[in-house]
Amino acid sequence: MLGFIARRLLYLLPVLVAVSLLTFLIASLLPGDLAYVILGDQATPEKVEALRHDMGLDQPIWWRYIGWLGHVLEGDFGRSFRTGQTVLQAVSERLPVSLELMFLAEILGLAIGVPLAIACAVRSGSAFDRFMTGSAFGMLSVPTFLSAILLIYLFAVQLHWLPATGYVPFEEDPVGNLRFFVLPALTLALAEWPGIMRVLRSDMIATLQEDYIALAKAKGLTSSRILFVHALKPSSLTLITITGINIGRLIGGAVIVETIFALPGIGRLLVSAIGTRDLVILQGVVLVVAGGFVLMNFIVDMLYAVLDPRIRHGHA
Amino acid sequence: MATLELTIDEDVVAGPVARKRRLGPLFWAAIVWMIFVFAAAALASVLPLPSPTDMDMLERRAPASMLHWLGTDGLGRDELARLIFGARISLTVGVCAPVIGITIGGALGMLAGYFRGRFEQIVVGSMDVLLAFPPLILALAVTAYLGQSILNLTCILGVLGIPTFMRVARAATLTLTRREFVIAAQALGATHARILLRELLPNVLLPLLAFFLLGVAVFIVVEGALSFLGLGVPPPISSWGSMIGEGRESLDVAPRLAFLPAIAMFLTVLSFNLVGDTLRALTDPRQGAL
């Protein structure tokens, strides 16, 4: 097990370095010099030159990368030249909102997807199964921003049940906080459940044909116990796989959903940084998100190895 | 394609594959809708439509009439014309981006799967780095730096599609390279180029094309999302995403302004998904049993 972790860590390192390099290059090589952006209309060649020198922009690119990476490793991701806030401050303020959103969305997605998958697997081939499989396929074609609009129209504009936009911190008003999160999380969950259901359903259909399920039936166990305990257990690996694959889409979805529902999360920080051309924040957020994404994938890989010994000892 | 199927165990998958062979009415409905949208987009400038950008402040959010078949939007622009010209943008980006992906990714994947060794490691490794970025985040960041234009958008999305196509092409090539007809070609002294182009490419192309259609669906959505956020195509050009974004402002008074482009986008994405998924099921023998 330790050897496996060490091998994966060795692989993780170059990927992280490459991610940081790419993030840095996007910000540095593409047109639009930071000095021009900061100076705006008042840019004269002399001022630009002076600022470039102050910021070290006249140094060779690899030297700037090493310097930047050194700062990043010390936890200094830079400071917004618009608000004066450090990237770390801005991110740590907003990260909890995004994490809460993604957590609630995944829980909701599982809450919809898992029971449906089981119901479909038990009666595979029935009208219900075909209807749900078809609906899941249709839902895969509904973009997040589309279901967001639909939910806002239904629950906020027509029924006035829930607020369309806004946010209060959980510490101040837990119920109000959750009320603001219902629609955004549901929006993301609507994109999550079809994938969960489709994969889990086909997994379950295979599992239900195993001998030990027949044995459990013969022992006289209740069908709910057989389904939720015996049949769901071997599918836990599948569920983790889907969750792992979903993370990237969840992050992307969170950007859109946070913007639509005005939740002050990482995604909204990113979009507003793009709007104000706040390149330092943008670079920092991209690095944090991509780094976090790589680490999450690493953790998912580790979970695999814990759950499935074949991966640990196999060809990996 | 015929060669791919030789590996299937007849007994296990004969049933499902036979069932999937019969392309249902849904499949053909999807094809008809795709042709309809493509034709409308291609003929947009020939069709007798009002201009999609001419504003008429007296006719804001007007209901459907003889002059404006689907009414007008918040700035008094003809909704139908904007929908059809919007289809142009969505389809241009949606189709061109995966073309970039399938060309570069397909070539890299085939070379990696055929030659293996160090080259394969480098290709797979660099794709892992590209995959380390959540796609929408990377697209957002790069458009922010490059500036918003249809060309930039297409190129970025195209690059984002490379890893998927690379994986599909590599996986197909890996299995095909061990097959008898390739070994026979090698034994006959065929050059690498000939084997890659004449023996492998025709067999790799079909699974790639199935993913191409699924890719179109994905990229229409991503373009829509970027335009919806106001970070895709610059106004006043209409794209379905930007129309939905604009329509969001008037959900309470004129919900159709958001729902009409939404329905158009949903049907188009669904069509590409349906056709792509059907083709994928046909070309991927392993999926046949599911």
| pLDDT tens-digit series, residues A219-240 | 888 888 888 777 887 777 778 7
Say if A9 is an interface residue toward chain B (CB within 8 Å).
no
Nearest to B34 by CA among B282, B206, B281, B276: B276
- Residue B134 falls inside a structural domain: yes
The rounded distance, in Å, linking the Cα atoms of A224 and A40 is 66
Task: Sort out which chain B residues have CB atoms less than 8 A from A245's CB and list them.
Answer: none
Averaging pLDDT over each range in A26-40, A49-63, A237-251, B44-58, which range is the top one?
A237-251
Q: Is residue B23 part of a domain?
A: no
CA atoms of A278 and A81, how far apart (whole Å): 7
Q: What is the mean pLDDT of chain B?
A: 79
Q: Is the pLDDT of residue A40 over 70?
A: no
The separation between the first and the last C-alpha atoms of chain A, rounded to the nearest angstrom, is 11
Chain A's closest residue to B269, CA to CA, is A141
B179's enclosing H/E stretch is none
Tell me the pLDDT band of B202, cut-offs 50, 70 and 90.
confident
Contact B134 A140 (CB under 8 A): no
Q: Residue B172: which of B132, B192, B199 has the closest Cα?
A: B199
Amino acid at A219: K
Q: How far is Cα B133 from Cα B124, in angstroms, rounded to an integer?
A: 15
Contact B35, B64 (CB under 8 A): no
Selecting from A259, A277, A286 the residue whose C-beta is nearest the C-beta of B141 gives A286
**Phi and psi, residue B69, nearest 5°:** -60, -35
Contact B238, B86 (CB under 8 A): yes
pLDDT interval class at B136 (50, 70, 90): confident
| Range B200-213 average pLDDT | 86
Beta bridge partners of B72: B78
CA B133 to chain centre: 20
Chain B within 8 Å of A112 (Cβ-Cβ)?
no
Cβ within 8 Å, pair A271-B140: yes
Residue B132 lies in a domain: yes
Partnered with residue A79 across adjacent β-strands are A86
User: Amino acid letter at A5?
Assistant: I
Containing structural domain, residue B136: 69-284
Categorize the per-residue pLDDT at B145 as very low, low, confident or very high, splitting at 50, 70 and 90: confident
Q: Are A38 and A81 a contacting pair, CB within 8 Å?
A: yes
Phi, psi of A208 (to 5 degrees): -65, -15
The answer to whether residue B53 is domain-embedded is no
Which of A185-199, A237-251, B91-105 has the least mean pLDDT?
A237-251
How far is C-alpha A36 from the chain's CA centre?
A: 33
> Once rounded to an integer, what is the mean pLDDT over residues A185-192?
89
Q: Residue B266: helix, strand or coil by DSSP?
A: helix
- Note whether residue B73 is domain-resident: yes
> How many Cβ atoms are within 10 Å of A46's Cβ, its own excluded?
8
> Does B268 reside within a domain?
yes
Q: Indicate the number of domains in chain B.
A: 1
Looking at every residue in chain A, the average pLDDT score rounds to 80
Q: First and final CA of chain B: distance in angstroms?
A: 20
pLDDT digits (tens, 9 = 90+) for B53-112: 666 666 666 666 666 666 666 666 777 878 888 888 888 888 999 999 999 999 999 999
Chain A residue with minimum CA distance to B247: A149
Question: pLDDT category, A265, cuts 50, 70, 90?
Answer: confident
What is the model's pLDDT at position B69?
64
A144 touches chain B (CB under 8 A): yes
Q: Give residue B278's pLDDT.
A: 84
Nearest CA in chain B to A296: B132
**B176: number of CA atoms within 13 Å, CB side?**
33
A·B CB contacts under 8 A: 123
Phi/psi at B63 (5° precision): -70, 170
Contacts with B258 from chain A: Cβ below 8 Å: 149, 153
CB contacts, 8 Å: A265 with chain B = none
Residue A56: pLDDT band with limits 50, 70, 90: low
Half-sphere exposure for A213 (CA within 13 Å, toward CB)? 19
How many whole angstroms separate alpha carbon A70 and alpha carbon A91?
19
- Residue B97: CATH number of its domain: 1.10.3720.10
Kindly list the residues from chain B whose CB atom is less than 8 angstroms away from the CB atom of residue A294: 132
Q: Is A256 on the interface with B (CB under 8 A)?
A: yes
Burial (CB count within 10 angstroms: exposed 0-12, middle 13-18, buried 19+), residue A222: exposed
Q: How far apart are CA A202 and CA B286, in angstroms?
A: 13
Q: What are the chain B neighbours of A140 within 8 Å (beta carbons)?
A: 273
Q: What is the dihedral of CA B75, B80, B81, B82, to 10 degrees?
A: 60
Is residue B289, in this structure, part of any structural domain at all? no
Assess A286–B contact: CB distance below 8 Å, yes or no: yes
Contact B43, B226 (CB under 8 A): no
Q: What are the chain B neighbours of A271 within 8 Å (beta carbons)? A: 140, 229, 231
If pLDDT is split at 50, 70 and 90, which confidence band does B15 have? very low
Distance between CA atoms of residues A19 and A23, nearest Å: 6
Question: What are φ and ψ of residue B62, in 5° steps?
Answer: -70, 145
- Is A291 in a helix, a strand, or coil? helix
Report whether A79 contacts A89 (CB < 8 A).
Answer: no
Nearest to residue B222, comparing CAs of B81, B41, B101? B101
| Averaged pLDDT, B212-226 | 88
Phi/psi for A314 (5° steps) reads: -70, -150
State residue B290's pLDDT score. 36
* Per-residue pLDDT reduced to its tens digit, A112-148: 988 898 888 888 888 888 898 888 888 888 888 888 8
**Cα–Cα distance measured from residue A39 to residue B127, given in angstroms and rounded to the nearest whole number:** 37
Give chain A positions within 8 Å (CB) of B264.
none
Q: Is residue B236 reached through a cis peptide bond, with omega within 30 degrees of 0 on the bond before it?
A: yes
Structure tokens at A24: 């840095």
Run of H or E residues at A312? helix A309-313
* Residue A314 CB-half CA count within 13 A: 7
pLDDT in tens, A147-179: 888 888 888 887 878 777 777 777 777 777 778
Within a domain: residue B46? no
User: CB distance A149–B262 less than 8 Å?
Assistant: yes
Q: One-letter amino acid identity for A278?
A: D
